[in-house]
Amino acid sequence: MSRYRGPRLRIVRRLGDLPGLSRKSPRRAYPPGQHGQARKKRSEYAIRLEEKQKLRFNYGLSEKQLLRYVRRARRATGSTGQVLLQLLEMRLDNTVFRMGMAPTIPGARQLVNHGHITVNGRVVNIASYQCRPGETITVRDRDQSKRIVQQNLEFPGLANTPSHLEFDKTKLSGKVNGVVEREWVALQVNELLVVEFYSRQA
């Protein structure tokens, strides 16, 4: 299945707050659909599936991409769940979003894809690019690029910049100082359940 392009609030109503997907909050607190208000006892599989879907929709990944990230996290040292979150948080589109240059991750992905963002002075238009500590992320030196980002900075998606990032609004330039800490991940998710969900596939 390719990237989701349907109504975002429908997903937020089903899965809860997804700061990377939408800034809007739904008027109804129950899931969408005919049986949204019905009380259902969820199976263990359903609970794990829901946590996995939170990651997928928040970071805008296809099933194939998320599975690839889980496999990479398995090969790395340390807690698989934590490494998985770090890999997703250090993507270029998410880093641009967390610096406040875009209101959502899809908005940040569009900035990257359209060549508005540079990494260490070079234009990078690959949203999945893994940012590394010490790298400088800047808005491209073009009037159009600067105008778009300055408009976005007036209404940032999240109020606080994480501790591993710094951003200068006057220079429209930011820096990655380290790897994201678990407490700075804005999404409310149980990453261990995601790893368990993929334990038979990855």
Amino acid 1: pLDDT: 40
Amino acid 166: pLDDT: 92
Based on the domain organization, do 68 and 129 belong to the same domain? no
Domain of 157?
A: 91-178
Crossing angle of helices 105-113 and 143-154, in 10° steps, is: 170
In the predicted model, residues of the chain with pLDDT beneath 50 are 1, 34-35, 202
Amino acid 77: pLDDT: 87
122-123 and 173-176 strand pairing: unpaired
pLDDT tens-place string over residues 120-141: 999 999 999 999 999 999 999 9
The pTM for the full model equals 0.84
CATH number of the domain at 80, please.
1.10.1050.10
Asked whether residue 3 is assigned to any structural domain, the reply reads no
Asked whether residue 202 is assigned to any structural domain, the reply reads no
Query: Residue 133 burial by CB count (10 A; 0-12/13-18/19+): exposed, middle or buried?
Result: exposed
Amino acid 188: pLDDT: 86
The count of structural domains within the chain is 2
Based on the domain organization, do 17 and 63 belong to the same domain? yes
